Amino acid sequence: MARERVTRALTAARLTADGHTPAQVAAALGCSIETVGNLIADGGFYEAPAGDQRRLELARAAAVMLATGKTRAQVISALAGSGAHRAVRDAGALTILNRLDES
């Protein structure tokens, strides 16, 4: 499931970069405009994580905690805040893409 979402996010970001509108991207991916907005934002981050240092730092923190045996719930609680769920998702995506160490 995580790999599929990463692929969809990267596809959404690339289609947008190629000039497609969000509505066109949503149609191509078979999802809503609301979902496509999140996919585009995530795909852009996954392609260039160093462009958002704060988000990258949170993803790295989540990855470290997960690697040391913390559960997703424990990581979300430890990171407490609106970006906690996204940080866990980003940690998984950047791990899949081998981009956690980008500066």
pLDDT in tens, the chain (103 residues): 689 999 999 999 999 999 999 999 999 999 999 999 999 999 999 999 999 999 999 999 999 999 999 999 999 999 988 799 999 999 999 999 999 988 7
Burial annotation 39-74 (CB, 10 A radius, 16+ → b, else e):
bbbbbbbbeebeeeeebbebbbbbbebbeeeeebee
